[in-house]
Structure 1
Amino acid sequence: MQRVRLRYAKRGPLRFTSHRDFARALERAILRAGVPIAYSQGFTPHPKISYASAAPTGVASEAEYLELGLRERVEPGQLVKALDGSLSPGLDVLEAVEATVPGSLADRITASQWRIELPGVGDDQLATAVAAFVAQSEILVERMTKQGRRTFDTRDAVVHIAAVRSQTRPPGVVETAPCAILDLVVRQVTPSVRPDDVLSGLRVVADLEPSAPHSLRSARATRLAQGTLTPQGEIVDPLEADRDPVVIGER
């Protein structure tokens, strides 16, 4: 059986696609594209698809990963084109590599990098909140989980947090509502710390609130990368070990 690892993106309105909905869409795309997917044994065979750390519903991502088991060999570049052409725009297959190194994708993911746009929040307001966040050794927040309401430390999971100053508008361009940008690297922990948990932490330590009502609920989070976190704070793509040769099909 050939194992192929894919990187895909969730963009635009398709960021609201749940993981279950994406899984159904992928299985239909596999059938439409004629991909020779392998199936498990038993009374209810399932396609051999393994997902790694799927993004929460409502956030965009440029770095989602999965692995397919194929019963016949397929050239990775052809697989990218076939699956990408069978999925809706916004669910985009970006890269495929044949698995050459043992182990699971999940074992190669220990951190994620996020970009969070905050409508109604000014640059200086966010910078002040980030400084207050960094100064703390512990920031407790609450969130409802499948096991009930949990309290956990959001500060410990954050490896890097910074306010990115938005670009200055050119002369003659009308100033619109502020929209600060947060750059964030979070370790994989249990329970997982999500972008909205970090925003809750900023609210706790700095009372961060947007100028427009409910704008913080409209925060736009995009996962830019995920993979293994190095001692230097860099994130190594989980496909890096298998990426020889590299097959990329950006769109």
Structure 2
Amino acid sequence: MRKQPEQQAPPVQRLRIRYAKRGRLRFTSHRDFSRAFERAVFRARLPMAYSSGFHPHPRISYAGAAPTGSASEAEYVEIGLAAVVDPADIHAQLEEALPVGLDVLEVVESPGGSLADLLEASRWWADIEAQPTEAAIAVDAFLAADSVLVERMTKKGLRELDCRVPVVSLVAGPAPDDSPAGARLDLVLRHAVPSIRPDDVLRGLAQVSAVALGPAPLLTRIAQGPLDEETGEVRDPLHARS
């Protein structure tokens, strides 16, 4: 009879971490990041709590990862620890252990509950080739539509999705002076099932207008968290309950 595995003690502290994907590191997949993060945890010798079972693994929970190829200033992960530590120390240790471009921005103690449940919406910037006036016309056409259907290849095959429904707000303006793009779109996108990504919205824009997106629009997630239904603002999930 196979011997039962030793039961691990539950975490005594949980920390929530906000990190960024910048520069060339935006092309790392979620799997790539999880491997890099676990290596960083081991290099930093963090007092991790482990799961029970025949194959214990460090208690790390990932939430709301951005699509591969998009930059982000608002990615989140939660870790469970076997000892109580100062979040500032964990911040410094992880920042030193992770590669440049995967940058730790904030570490706070978890108040409990589900981090994933707090991630109701995201705010994105999309830098596109079109000039601001052209982009504004495309945005008006998109927002005026009741439904904008786009196709995306999924694990279950080609699927038709309505990319208009989860769009909370969409505004076109000029791109920053240091950007090669012509216009910047400011998009607030509600997290829905099925999931709609910002590139789905860009395809929808092109479908309802002749807007020029360019060969590789730069997508950057600026915020991710609870959605204020009155203002349309995406709030900070690390301080949502404080």
What TM-score, normalized to structure 1? 0.88
1:112 equivalent to 2:122? Answer: yes
Q: Check conservation: 2:24, 2:101, Cα contact below 8 A.
A: yes
Q: Secondary structure at the match of 1:222?
A: strand
Q: Which residue of structure 1 aligns with residue 53 of structure 2?
A: 42
Q: Distance in 1 between matches of 2:44 and 2:233?
A: 36
Q: Which residue of structure 1 aligns with residue 82 of structure 2?
A: 71
Q: Check conservation: 1:9, 1:94, Cα contact below 8 A.
A: yes
Identify the match of residue 193 of structure 1 among 188, 193, 196: 196
Q: Distance in 2 between matches of 1:91 and 1:134?
A: 34
Q: Distance in 1 between matches of 2:77 and 2:177?
A: 39
How many residues are aligned here? 230
Post-superposition Cα deviations, 1:4-55, rounded to whole Å, max 9, x if no partner, equal 0000000000000110010000111011111011110111111100011100
Q: Check conservation: 1:98, 1:242, Cα contact below 8 A.
A: no
1:163 equivalent to 2:163? Answer: no
Map 1:161-240 to 2 at 5 A.
Answer: 161-166=170-175, 179-210=182-213, 215=214, 217-232=215-230, 233-240=232-239
Q: Distance in 1 between matches of 2:146 and 2:195?
A: 18
RMSD of aligned Cα (Å)? 1.6
1:226–1:242 Cα change, 3 Å: same
- Aligned-pair identity (%): 53
1:38–1:177 Cα change, 3 Å: closer
Post-superposition Cα deviations, 1:191-234, rounded to whole Å, max 9, x if no partner, equal 11111100110011113235xxxx2x310000000111112211
1:97–1:12 Cα change, 3 Å: same
Mark the runs of 5 or more structure 2 residues left unpaired by the alignment.
1-11
Mark the runs of 5 or more structure 1 residues left unpaired by the alignment.
170-175, 244-251
